[in-house]
Structure 1
Amino acid sequence: MRTAVVCALLCAAALPGPSAAASAPQAPPAAAQAASPAARYAAQAPPAVSVTVAVTDGRDDAEAGKRLDYRITVHNLGSTAVRGARIEQEMPATTTSATAPGATLEGRGEREQKAVWHSDLPAHDIQVFTASAVLGDRHDDTGSAAPGTLRAASTVCVYVGESFAPTACSGDLDDLPETHAEAGGGNGWVGWAVAAAATALFGPGVVRAVRRRRAAQPR
């Protein structure tokens, strides 16, 4: 009996204990260690999108009181659908009223009005949005594109997700007429009228004075 107990103790002492390598936590694979934070973020980032936008009102000039009808075309060129795209149109600075079916209108005063649409853009899909703006009188010539003119500008941008940077933008420009042209022309006619009146009043006296001077000169 003692011999059996001693053998059991000796066998237990001879057996190896738990491996340190087995009990230690295993290190992550070398590929995972080599991956940088930027690489891990890139793997989680949404795929790049390819979207274009175009806007036109079908004309090149405008004037106060007229309505401009805009047509906005958004084209998703990519093979991936774009969810929750945001399309924003800035109305011309002199806009007094605007309409945009399906959009939310922001701002009420001049230089502040904007239309905002929210829409999904399926892959390779084209979507069309419409809006209208009625122009009011402009107050100065600041920013004239050419002597006597100012442009009514409208811009449209497409935003993807929560980004503040647009994915695509486009614009439309219309020339506005010179609002002070008649006033300037009126001042010119007033000047001509004054000159004509002065000539009628003083012209005969000047002629007589010239004749007298010539008659008084010795020949």
Structure 2
Amino acid sequence: MRTAVVCALLCAATLPGPSAAASAPQAPPAVSVTVAVTDGRDDAESGKRLDYRITVHNMGPTEVRGARIEQDMPATTTSATAPGGTVEGHDVGEQKVVWRADLPAHDIQVFTASAVLGARTGPTATAAPGTLRAAATVCVYVGDSYTPTACSGDLDDLPETHAEAGGGDGWMWWAGAAAAAALFGPGVVRAVRRRRAAQPH
């Protein structure tokens, strides 16, 4: 009898109790989310409004609660709007839109935003000959993570204006020509007069 009791106590000690099983860390469910963004065009210009359509697809079998969808607007954006979202930052080049939403399993949700572009204020590296780009980026974040689960971008060509540069170059050419005439004009006139005086009459 004593042996049976000791064996029972030893066996019970080796088995995990209910509290140990409950406190074991649970692996987070796998998240499979995609995002796509487009404004339906390939080019833009200052003063025009770009209307973006953001499509978020939860392809996994588990609902994603409290997802954060963030869109960085193009660098020359002067104003932005987003139904159901919050516009953060009001200075040019700092505007961002944030949505928070639950993403049901196997569900697709669509968000919309608009941006009005302003003029470029300084030189920027060109991404293609004769053009610049208006770039918008959208990322989806799950929980409190700072690492995006999915990202997508949209690029529009901004035609580069050469009117100001051409006008400036023309003005500089005329200024140079006037300066050259002021410097060398009197000498040319004197040379012509001497040549005429030296010719026999």
Equivalent in the alignment of 2:160:
178
Aligned equivalents of 2:144 and 2:180: distance in 1? 74
Matched, 1:169 2:151: yes
Find the residue that maps to 1:26 and give its secondary structure. Answer: helix
Equivalent in the alignment of 1:187:
168
Map 1:1-219 to 2 at 5 A.
20-21=6-7, 26-28=13-15, 41=25, 44-179=26-161, 181-190=162-171, 193=174
Aligned equivalents of 1:59 and 1:135: distance in 2? 14
1:85/1:160 contact within 8 Å kept: yes
Aligned equivalents of 1:156 and 1:77: distance in 2? 18
Equivalent AA in structure 1 for residue 14 of structure 2: A
Equivalent AA in structure 1 for residue 13 of structure 2: Q
Aligned equivalents of 1:195 and 1:142: distance in 2? 29
1:103/1:117 contact within 8 Å kept: yes
Change (3 A) 1:137 1:48: same
Instruction: Pick the structure with greater CA Rg.
Output: 1
Cα drift, residue 101 of structure 1: 0.1
Equivalent AA in structure 2 for residue 184 of structure 1: A
| CA distances 1:14-57 after superposition (whole Å, capped 9, x unpaired) | xx86855555662236xxxxxxxxxx54xx12211211111011
Change (3 A) 1:199 1:139: closer
Find the residue that maps to 2:42 and give its secondary structure. Answer: coil
Cα drift, residue 64 of structure 1: 1.6
Identity %: 71
Cα drift, residue 148 of structure 1: 3.9
Change (3 A) 1:48 1:58: same
RMSD over aligned CA atoms reads 3.3
| CA distances 1:81-132 after superposition (whole Å, capped 9, x unpaired) | 2222111111111111110000011111122211111111122211111000
Normalized per residue, which structure has more strand?
A: 2
Cα drift, residue 192 of structure 1: 5.7
Return the TM-score normalized by structure 2: 0.75
Equivalent AA in structure 2 for residue 46 of structure 1: P
Aligned residue-pair number: 187
Return the TM-score normalized by structure 1: 0.70
Change (3 A) 1:111 1:199: closer
Deviating runs (4+, > 4 A) in structure 1?
16-25, 191-203
Unaligned runs of 5+ in 1: 1-15, 30-39
Find the residue that maps to 1:48 and give its secondary structure. Answer: coil
Find the residue that maps to 1:184 and give its secondary structure. Answer: helix
